[in-house]
């Protein structure tokens, strides 16, 4: 019998500024590996992860459905409570404190009652050790992304949510981020919002596709990306083994 999922989202509806953005999202995240959350622009991917974390903007709220973490209902609970349960988040905009140093950004991420894995972070990101006294706002986009991911790995998290980690990065940096995420996924399960299908193919075991605020597909990532017709229908792009195409624009 397979183990129960770590995260389970069922019938999730949410509205932002009076608009219904999520209209029945449902999927599970296993307690190991990488689950990719996919879909065209504006279909509700970022809104979904923000709903899980209690971070909906503009007075947004969950109007129906449930979010369960390790068997406990966390629907609509305050963000800081969910974080203390062991959920890390690297947002799409990276969210670094520009005027603080790299070391100070990491220090702020320390969670009381958790071990702080500086050895792991510096092993994965040796550049951050060298730049620990540098202001985060002066870092390149790739370096800021490393800070954002490093903060999620500093504590003992049960789940890490990473939103568009390679957006706007140079190919060389994308490769570096992919290597870090792959190593991190051996320690903690990841829910990955990503447009780069080559990265999804490399990292993800499972895939969830959203469209118009609803879940339209769940299953093994490799099977989805190997089916060109299905990938085209769901994501608007073609994907053949060894030849992935990245959808244009960002996620929502």
Confidence check: pLDDT of 239 > 60: no
In a domain, 45, yes or no: yes
Rounded to whole angstroms, the Cα distance separating 222 from 110 reads 36
User: In this structure, is residue 2 part of a structural domain?
Assistant: no
Q: Within a domain: residue 1?
A: no
- Where do the H-state alpha helices sit in 8-117? 45-53, 79-84, 102-109
pLDDT band at 238 (very low <50, low <70, confident <90, very high): low
Task: List the alpha helices (DSSP H) in 4-134.
Answer: 45-53, 79-84, 102-109, 118-124, 126-130
Residue 249 lies in a domain: no
Q: Does some domain include residue 111?
A: yes
Helix then strand count (H, E) for the chain reads 10, 12
- Alpha-carbon distance 48 to 220, whole Å? 20
Considering the domain boundaries, does residue 246 fall inside one?
no
248 located within any domain: no
Helix (H, G, I), strand (E, B) or coil at 76: coil
Answer yes or no: is pLDDT of 202 > 70: yes
Section 189-199 average pLDDT? 96
Contact call for residues 114 and 155 (beta carbons, < 8 A)? yes
CATH code, domain carrying 197: 3.40.50.300
pTM assigned to the model: 0.91
How many domains are there within the chain?
1
231/224 Cα distance (integer angstroms) = 6
Give the pLDDT score at 64.
98
Order of strands across the sheet that contains 214-220: 87-90, 159-163, 190-193, 34-38, 206-211, 214-220
**Beta bridge partners of residue 64, listed in sequence order:** 13
Residue 86 domain boundaries:
7-240
CA distances from 251 to 40, 192, 194 (A): 7, 12, 8
β-strand partners of 68: 8, 73
What is the C-alpha separation between 155 and 87, in angstroms, rounded? 10
Position 252 scores a pLDDT of 53
Is the confidence at residue 236, as pLDDT, over 90?
no
Give the pLDDT score at 73.
97
Cα(204)–Cα(147) distance, integer angstroms = 22
> Within a domain: residue 223?
yes
Please tell me the distance from the alpha carbon of residue 71 to that of residue 175, in angstroms, as a whole number. Answer: 35
Query: Does residue 246 surpass a pLDDT of 50?
Result: no
What's the mean per-residue pLDDT of the chain? 92
CB distance 225 to 169 below 8 Å:
no
């Amino acid at each position: 019998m397979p183990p129960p999922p770590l995260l389970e989202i069922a019938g999730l509806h949410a509205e932002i500024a009076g608009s219904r953005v999520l209209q029945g999202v449902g999927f599970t995240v296993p307690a190991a590996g990488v689950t990719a959350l996919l879909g065209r622009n504006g279909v509700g991917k970022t809104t979904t992860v923000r709903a899980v974390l209690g971070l909906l903007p503009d007075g947004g709220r969950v109007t129906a459905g449930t979010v369960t973490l390790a068997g406990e209902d966390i629907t609509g609970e305050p963000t800081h409570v969910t974080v203390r349960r062991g959920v890390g988040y690297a947002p799409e905009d990276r969210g670094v404190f520009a005027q603080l140093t790299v070391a100070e950004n990491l220090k702020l991420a320390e969670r009381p009652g958790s071990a702080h894995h500086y050895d792991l972070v510096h092993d994965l990101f040796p550049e951050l050790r060298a730049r620990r006294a540098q202001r985060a706002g002066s870092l390149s986009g790739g370096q800021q992304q490393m800070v954002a991911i490093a903060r999620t790995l500093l504590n003992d998290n049960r789940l890490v949510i990473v939103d568009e980690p390679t957006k706007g990065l140079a190919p060389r940096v994308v490769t570096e981020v992919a290597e870090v995420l792959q190593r991190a996924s051996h320690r903690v399960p990841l829910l990955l919002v990503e447009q780069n299908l080559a990265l999804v193919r490399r990292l993800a075991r499972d895939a969830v596709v959203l469209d118009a605020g609803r879940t339209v597909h769940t299953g093994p990532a490799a099977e989805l990306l190997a089916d060109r017709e299905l990938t085209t229908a769901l994501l608007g792009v073609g994907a053949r083994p060894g030849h992935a195409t990245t959808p244009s624009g960002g996620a929502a």
